Chains A and B, each alone.
Chain A
């Protein structure tokens, strides 16, 4: 090697003054000193604490609920059940929550059950008391009688003829139309291109495999929380930790029969979400309790409630068949994707179908997708929802194709890689994308070139795809007389986005990132802003900041023109200095001009609102080395590299952070994490001891390469960076395990038991 190895590399395509640098984040000091206020830290006078009674059964009819003993328990202030929902609330109709769509009736029933409980942990009643201990004690005094029904726990089971029906009136939507048949399949859709039979006829090699992946949780460290005050003027004030202030506000309003403007939601700092914090759980219950008591009511979930009653992502059953010619052209691909939705429709199977073959240019494809109800808690979004299950299947099958053809696995992928103009199976034709560049960077990486030695060791590769999202966003900028600016936005900052948004405004204005003071404000104080999800914030709110900064720039140029008594057309802003295009004597810094706003017309505010559609899809890939202990089945990650197309990395440190964090969530999904269910649908590992997420000692450093293929749909070329990095790690690890032990894994997690079973099967 000629140069020293660099653990974190940025393959920059274009350089800027502020963008691409690594300033200290604006909210950093608050967060390293414990001063930042998260939702559960919120305190106010007269506060009551609520606890939720939850179903012990995964499927049962509620015969009766008797709350009378709880209501008279000392210290109890109110009890609510589904009887307390406002009459007429919760009408039908779809509602958008983050990346997923749900039906309002289902949303309300999920928050508090009325006639049936559909999963263990399903809320039945809420109790408000003078403290949380008293509330918890009173839960034991609520008497509920159930008729226990048989539970259905996996997609294949739920799809069988005669399976117990979870939603008795649910009719399958088949190819876009409701059919007159009740079943647990909420939807069956199909994407089709080319001629599948012809494609397989052209193939020399065909690989067909089935996969099962377990339910997994986002595992954010901060539990859901909220405090709600139903004011005497009829308005509701909510303080909580959420990814989607506007989404949760709107959904809460709908289930309570209020208009959105009757709720003010103040997003506190948020301790992780990964897609899981878009839905209201405690908010409407706390609201009903607040209305009854006239006092603010706080709900903080326990970790067990987090596992059992929030939205993990789907377990899935997948069948995949792919064919290729001897010279390495993939000619046909079929996928059957059955994803568990949980108790209500809305699994991420449609997104999974968009991703399953999106890394490849294949002429002949059929994809069947099934959204399947089971007696588990309703699924929610989790980082590139649906993509990881799909990539586990596709990328291990492609690995087998490469092996049978005798081609390097990256080379086979490169020969078939999706590029500009490739049609995704659901119809989208790709604009400029970075699939080839990511694969090439993987191939060129020192990690891929260096030999791996030692027994029981293997190296695997895989790639993943995610669409990324847009959505509306609003930013206001005001200017201080010292030349610093306030930037007001509505996207909860879950991982450094105050910095990445501020830097885009600073770039336009030619000022330092440190001269921007960003603030995330409540829903009354900023225009509508879609939530922090879909890898959208740096893309959309950054764009709104770009627009707001241009608005400021235009107005400041007018002020400079007034001072200089010239036409504003003759003034420009270059690297933070206003200049005359014609008279080199006329020049003023941003700060100098900011000090003269008073006398030239008063304050300046810049405004930026966008609803961009040009989100750039992104690819990421991994090179991973593992060692598999053939005696115990334990898999150790020896070395791990993640390569990802960021479009443009605004703050590279936080882009690397997303890549590393997503990779490690993928490692956890690959090796350890699962909802371990007993045969009647009770989760038996609902603690962070037994639901084993990766700890520091499990891991090596996670090396990164940021590839920059500018997104033509954004002023600075930004693609989303949050999600795609979780998609490929399980498949890359599976491929590495194959190299280490000669076993093809088709389940997640690939825990020691699964590895040993595969080794023993192979030895037979």
Chain B
């Protein structure tokens, strides 16, 4: 399975993401410069965290016009996996590839800490190695993670199982106290209708090794590999 990590000017989790795929998963991975126009040959593209183009206007507002982002819809249409982490999630929202918008954290401050997440949908390409309702821990580090969607969109997302992660308490309750940024419905991550585009604010590429005190993020990466393997098998069966 071939991974690509998009590099915008001032992406800053690109190297961390590359490291996980290359050193931990042991899969082929390359950086994709923001000016590239083609995603041919890639199976999974990660839009990493950072401050693309400085994010002075609004997170992701400039990055959505990058040639590589314009290549994403066709890539996703063909069934490619797109994972937007933190700033990558913000870019996906601005590009209209996922519904909703991001506001500044309700504290009006940057927040870096660990949060607890409840897995709301364990059937996506990115979460199939978790259990439904499982509570996992991941780091966040963002100033604009206050997710918003209008009531109709929210209802639709709920109905279609597209809310993938919510901030929760240790017991898995969805409480205001567990919400680090004011996101509506404690939403931490949502996916596309087909499920092959996921955006999330927490950083699964920062918790993959016991020396970092947490391996809960590995599930996301293992899910991708597992899903891809299964999809390949199905394809092989169809082609027989």
Question: Does B bind A?
Answer: no
Query: Which residues on A are within 8 Å of B, measured CB to CB?
Result: none
Query: Which residues on B are within 8 Å of A, measured CB to CB?
Result: none
